[in-house]
């Protein structure tokens, strides 16, 4: 609605301005409904004005140009598209149809680009910058072929430069991203390939220096645009702050066992999705390598494109296995799925160690072999948890003299509890690794076992974990899971980088799953509505005056649920409601079911995994409980804060790093915390929260707003990872 009214206003202003020029009476009276006519008229007018009197009317032109672009937005672009297509098609049908058709549906900016391109073909002399744009597009089209030959990939390298150049025209770059997103819907191979090639081309065309040059070139280009009518939208963009891409560019291969939305069992899945996406925005060329589990939803399986296959020797007796590569490109990130039906047919990514150990030995080696097969040499290979921990070991042994052998490795510990420990002989057989890696400083533990995570920690160039406090904690016997001494030994290359959350998924202002969207400005009124919607949905007493405590968690021993079980009856006071969402150990599932029965209308236990319900709980709850025994980072407290909930957490790992305890004297902090793992302290923290809620709502509300305002995005965390990559590859 506001957009329309602004448009109307602008249209009126345009009319006045154009009237004053007199030449353009027709434009002023033209109905904005007639899209094609308008466009033509405005363009003609602009040209006339330009040629007639540049000096005095430049500003007016600028305005009218703005309006024209708006008029285009309103105008049904179908006709224009048709025109554009007709002109561009001769070059390369498929690519164009996508590049232009979709953006046209979405944004005027893209159209603005498209049109000059069409005109440029006709009048290059007029519009120099436009000519450049034309080059960019021309490159984009032949991209299809680039995969086949590196020689052709060079234009792709230019493409990336062209993007950098285009930065001054900030939105042009955005427009491209949108193009990709829009094109996603169609999800055709043609769309995916260019991205894949881009990444390849970039590896070859690493020289960051060239890009820098490209930027210098940009400025003159921008100046030229000032003199042209067609490029006026570019002038507007010049006023916006130009976001410089951090330099130098780095290529990174992520290797891990799960990734949202394909397959996710916990925080690792979120990180594998959100971090590469943010890194791609920060000038990293990212590939994510995942197992192609049969449980990946059909809608994604159908979009994967076959990239190739080969046989790979795996076991110590030379037994070999098929490795297929299926590719899917999304949001600037290339996802390569390792395909093998022997290992990945099970409905669940993890089953039991007897199956999982061979599965992830195979996966770690196949991921590296696939990189070589695809001829893609990353600067960094970033692997995650024990399932991918053998990657640094393989890279430093069997892959040392292969093209990817020069890559540096980063191993991130998302949860030290899981290490991939099994009989040494079995792991030796399945990996085919040389005997010398099975020594006590690398893979061997307790003489007869091998520990895959320990091997990775030994061979990785850098180790990270997901919060600073956890990085310190795991070097102590209490949290070290028997690897504390090993981690202390390698502490020089260990650091903590706290996770973020993906604002595209977790944003109460835009979250399509919520009954009522809200933001910092209206959280105090709108969140109540979400609370009522949640109460209705779950069969709780509908009353927005109740204090609603949420708990969204895997139901395991790690999460402090025995503490919750001990004190839950003491929380029931007629003014408090408890909503639990989770699956896991039977003992917790059963006890929470019991409490739901015992306290009907006040406790609701959702023993299930349900993303939508999780969103409803974050939006409807007043407080979120995370009383973990240990917590490497924890995402639920971050999501909770972003949704205006007050976290009640134990001071451990990432919980300690992200939730500042509320101080009633200074009225500052983000939540309520307790330190020792004791149920009495948890109860005390919850009671302090309740007291503030019921007796000092003003301070509570302030904390809600403070939490929503806190930056828990991936941006700064991704920057720290990027810095690490650059440090490692200087």
306 alpha carbon, distance to own chain's centre? 24
Which residue, 491 or 558, is less far from ligand ADP as judged by CB? Answer: 558
Q: How far is the CB of 654 from ligand ADP (least distance, A)?
A: 8
Map the footprint of ligand ADP across residues 608-627, applying CB under 6 A: 609-611, 614
CA atoms within 13 A on the CB side of 248: 18
- Cα distances from 517 to residues 93, 507, 533, 536, 615, in angstroms, run 41, 9, 12, 17, 11
Nearer to ligand ADP, 227 or 556 (CB): 556
> For 691-704, b where at least 16 C-beta lie within 10 A, e where not — what string?
ebbeeeeeebeebb
Query: Least CB distance from residue 550 to ligand ADP, whole Å?
Result: 10
- Phi/psi at 83 (nearest 5 deg)? -60, -50
Stretch of residues binding ligand ADP (CB under 6 A), selected from 56-64, 131-139, 605-613, 679-687: 605-613
Closest CB to ligand ADP among residues 267, 332: 267
Pair of tokens at residue 724: 């690490």
Residue 358 binds ligand ADP, judged by CB under 6 A? no
Residue 251 vs 628, nearer CB to ligand ADP: 628
Nearest approach in angstroms of CB 553 to ligand ADP is 6
Q: Is 597 helix (H, G, I), strand (E, B) or coil?
A: helix
Give bridge partners of residue 6 from the DSSP assignment. Answer: none
Count helices and strands (H / E) in the chain: 32, 18
Task: Convert residues 224-263 into a mask of x (bound to ligand ADP by CB under 6 A) and - (unbound).
Answer: ----------------------------------------
Q: How far is the CB of 495 from ligand ADP (least distance, A)?
A: 19
Host H or E run for residue 704: helix 697-709
Residue whose token pair is 């570019």: 234
Q: What are the phi and psi torsion angles at 305 (to 5°)?
A: -115, 135
Instruction: Map 145-211 to HEC letters.
Output: HHCCCHHHHHHHHHHHHHHHHCHHHHHHHHHHHHHHHHHHHHCCHHHHHHHHHHHHHHHHCCCHHHH
Indicate whether 552 belongs to the interface with ligand ADP (CB under 6 A).
Answer: yes
**Binds ligand ADP by CB under 6 A, chosen from 200, 258, 270, 336:** 270
Does residue 717 touch ligand ADP according to CB under 6 A?
no
In this complex, which beta carbon is closest to ligand ADP, that of residue 322 or of residue 350?
350
Quick note: the x/- pattern for ligand ADP over 104-133, rule CB under 6 A, is ------------------------------
131, 235 in Cβ contact below 8 A? Answer: no
**For residue 343, how many other CB atoms are within 10 A of its CB?**
22
Piece in contact with ligand ADP (CB under 6 A), picked from 60-68, 149-157, 265-273, 597-605: 265-273
Range in contact with ligand ADP (rule: CB under 6 A) among 390-398, 480-488, 576-584, 701-709? 576-584
Q: How far is the CB of 473 from ligand ADP (least distance, A)?
A: 15
Q: What letter would DSSP give residue 501?
A: B
Q: Which residues does residue 563 pair with via DSSP β-bridges, in sequence order?
A: none
Tell the smallest beta-carbon distance from residue 28 to ligand ADP (Å).
54
Nearest to 132 by CA among 237, 228, 239: 228
Shortest distance in whole angstroms from residue 674 CB to ligand ADP: 18
Q: Which is nearer to ligand ADP, 290 or 581 (CB)?
A: 581
Q: How far, CA to CA in Å, does 519 sit from each of 352, 444, 642, 697?
A: 43, 52, 9, 19
- Distance of alpha carbon 452 from alpha carbon 353, whole angstroms: 12
Cβ-contact 327, 305 below 8 angstroms? yes
Which one of 77, 194, 267, 358 is in contact with ligand ADP (CB under 6 A)?
267
Which residue number, 60 or 638, has a Cβ lying nearer to ligand ADP?
638
Interface size with ligand ADP, residues (CB under 6 A): 17
The CB-of-465 to ligand ADP minimum distance in angstroms stands at 12
Residue among 553 and 602 whose Cβ is closer to ligand ADP? 553
The answer to whether the CB of 27 falls within 8 A of the CB of 2 is: no
CB atoms within 10 A of CB 295: 13
Stretch that binds ligand ADP, among 64-72, 217-225, 247-255, 575-583 (CB under 6 A): 575-583
Could you write out the DSSP letters of every residue in 228-256?
A: -STTHHHHHHHHSPP-PPPSS-EEEEEE-
Closest approach of Cβ 700 to ligand ADP, in Å?
23
Nearer to ligand ADP, 213 or 610 (CB): 610
Which of residues 246, 248, 266, 405 is near ligand ADP by CB under 6 A? 266
Least distance CB 642 / ligand ADP (angstroms): 12
Stretch near ligand ADP under the rule CB under 6 A, chosen from 8-16, 200-208, 533-541, 604-612: 604-612
Q: Which residue is nearest to ligand ADP (CB)?
A: 267
Q: Does 635 bind ligand ADP (CB under 6 A)?
A: yes
CB of 110 to ligand ADP, least distance (A): 33
Euclidean distance between CA atoms 150 and 136, whole angstroms: 18
| β-bridge pairing 250-255 and 284-291 | parallel
Measured distance between the N- and C-terminal CA atoms of the chain, rounded to whole angstroms = 51
CA Rg value for the chain: 29
554 is a site residue for ligand ADP (CB under 6 A): yes
- Six-digit token string for 315: 């076991």
Cβ distance to ligand ADP smaller for residue 429 or 609: 609
Q: Which stretch binds ligand ADP (CB under 6 A): 6-14, 433-441, 577-585, 661-669?
A: 577-585
Question: Which of 290, 581, 692, 708: binder of ligand ADP (CB under 6 A)?
Answer: 581
How far apart (Å, rounded) are the C-alpha atoms in residues 133 and 355? 53
404 touches 377 (CB < 8 A)? yes
Distance CA 177, CA 161 (A): 15
Window of 429-437, 455-463, 527-535, 603-611 that interacts with ligand ADP by CB under 6 A: 603-611
Find the binder of ligand ADP among 392, 508, 582, 644 (CB under 6 A). 582
Least distance (Å) between residue 291 CB and ligand ADP: 18
Q: How far is the CB of 30 from ligand ADP (least distance, A)?
A: 52
Structure tokens at 16: 């006045």
Choose one: 207-215, 264-272, 275-283, 467-475; the region binding ligand ADP (CB under 6 A).
264-272
The one segment of 531-539, 606-614, 643-651, 702-710 that binds ligand ADP by CB under 6 A = 606-614
Tell me the sheet residues that pair with 713. 501
Give the residue from 571, 510, 515 showing the smallest Cα distance to 544. Answer: 515
Least distance to ligand ADP, CB of residue 634, Å: 4
Write down the least CB distance from residue 390 to ligand ADP, Å.
Answer: 22
SS3 601: coil
Contact positions toward ligand ADP, by CB under 6 A?
A: 266-267, 270, 552-554, 581-583, 609-611, 614, 633-636
């Amino acid at each position: 609605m506001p957009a329309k009214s602004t448009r109307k206003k602008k249209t009126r202003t345009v009319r006045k301005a154009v009237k004053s020029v007199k030449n353009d009476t027709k434009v002023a009276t033209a109905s904005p409904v007639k899209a094609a006519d308008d466009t033509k008229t405005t363009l003609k007018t602009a040209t006339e004005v330009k040629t007639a009197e540049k000096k005095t009317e430049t500003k007016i032109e600028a305005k009218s140009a703005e309006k024209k672009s708006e008029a285009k937005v309103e105008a049904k672009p179908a006709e224009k598209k048709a025109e554009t297509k007709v002109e561009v098609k001769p070059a390369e049908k498929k690519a164009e149809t996508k590049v232009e058709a979709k953006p046209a549906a979405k944004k005027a900016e893209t159209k603005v680009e498209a049109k000059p391109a069409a005109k440029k073909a006709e009048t290059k002399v007029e519009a120099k910058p436009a000519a450049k744009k034309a080059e960019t597009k021309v490159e984009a089209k032949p991209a299809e072929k680039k995969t086949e030959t590196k020689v052709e990939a060079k234009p792709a390298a230019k493409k990336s430069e062209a993007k950098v150049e285009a930065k001054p025209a900030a939105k042009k770059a955005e427009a491209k991203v949108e193009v990709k997103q829009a094109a996603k819907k169609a999800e055709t191979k043609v769309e995916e390939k260019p991205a894949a090639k881009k990444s390849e081309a970039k590896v070859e065309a690493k020289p960051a220096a060239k890009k820098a040059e490209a930027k210098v070139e940009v400025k003159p280009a921008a100046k030229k645009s000032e003199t042209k009518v067609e490029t006026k939208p570019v002038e507007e963009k010049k006023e916006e702050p130009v976001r410089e891409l951090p330099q130098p560019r780095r290529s990174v291969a992520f290797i891990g066992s799960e990734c949202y939305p394909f397959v996710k069992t916990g925080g690792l899945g979120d990180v594998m999705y959100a971090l590469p996406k943010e890194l791609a925005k920060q000038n990293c060329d990212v590939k994510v390598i995942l197992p192609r589990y049969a449980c990946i939803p059909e809608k994604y399986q159908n979009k994967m494109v076959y990239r190739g296959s080969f046989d790979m020797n795996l076991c110590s007796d030379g037994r070999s296995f098929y490795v297929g590569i299926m590719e899917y490109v999304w949001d600037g990130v290339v996802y390569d799925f390792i395909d093998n039906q022997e290992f990945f047919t099970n409905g669940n990514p993890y089953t039991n160690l007897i199956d999982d150990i061979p599965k992830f030995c195979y996966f770690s080696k196949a991921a590296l072999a696939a990189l070589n097969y695809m001829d893609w040499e990353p600067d960094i290979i970033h692997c995650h948890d024990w399932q991918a921990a053998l990657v640094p070991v393989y890279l430093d042994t069997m892959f040392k003299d292969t093209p990817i052998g020069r890559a540096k490795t980063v191993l991130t510990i998302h949860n030290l509890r899981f290490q991939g420990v099994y009989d040494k002989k079995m792991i030796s057989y399945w990996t085919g690794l040389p005997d010398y890696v099975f020594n006590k400083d690398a893979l061997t533990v307790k003489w007869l076992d091998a520990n895959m995570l320990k091997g990775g920690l030994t061979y990785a160039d850098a180790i990270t974990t997901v919060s600073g406090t956890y990085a310190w904690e795991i070097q102590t016997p209490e949290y070290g899971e028997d690897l504390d001494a090993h981690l202390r030994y390698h502490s020089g290359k260990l650091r903590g980088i706290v996770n973020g959350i993906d604002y595209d998924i977790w944003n109460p202002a835009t979250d399509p799953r919520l009954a009522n969207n809200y933001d910092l400005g209206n959280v105090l009124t709108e969140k109540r509505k979400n609370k009522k919607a949640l109460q209705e949905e779950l069969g709780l007493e509908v009353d927005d005056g109740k204090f609603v405590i949420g708990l969204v968690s895997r139901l395991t021993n790690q999460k402090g649920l025995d503490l919750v079980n001990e004190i839950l009856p003491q929380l029931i006071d007629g003014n408090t409601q408890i909503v639990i969402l989770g699956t896991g150990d039977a003992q917790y599932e059963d006890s929470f079911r019991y409490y739901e029965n015992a306290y009907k209308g006040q406790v609701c236990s959702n023993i299930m995994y349900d993303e939508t319900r999780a969103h409803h709980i974050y939006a409807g709850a007043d407080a979120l409980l995370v009383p973990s025994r240990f917590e490497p980072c924890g995402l639920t407290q971050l999501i909770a804060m972003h949704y205006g909930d007050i976290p009640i957490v134990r001071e451990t790992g990432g919980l300690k790093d992200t939730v500042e305890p509320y101080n009633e004297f200074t009225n500052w902090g983000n939540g309520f915390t307790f330190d020792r793992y004791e149920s009495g302290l948890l109860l005390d923290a919850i009671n302090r929260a309740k007291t503030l809620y019921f007796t000092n709502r003003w301070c509570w509300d302030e904390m809600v707003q403070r939490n929503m305002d806190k930056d828990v995005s991936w941006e700064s965390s991704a920057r720290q990872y990027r810095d690490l990559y650059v440090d490692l590859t200087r």
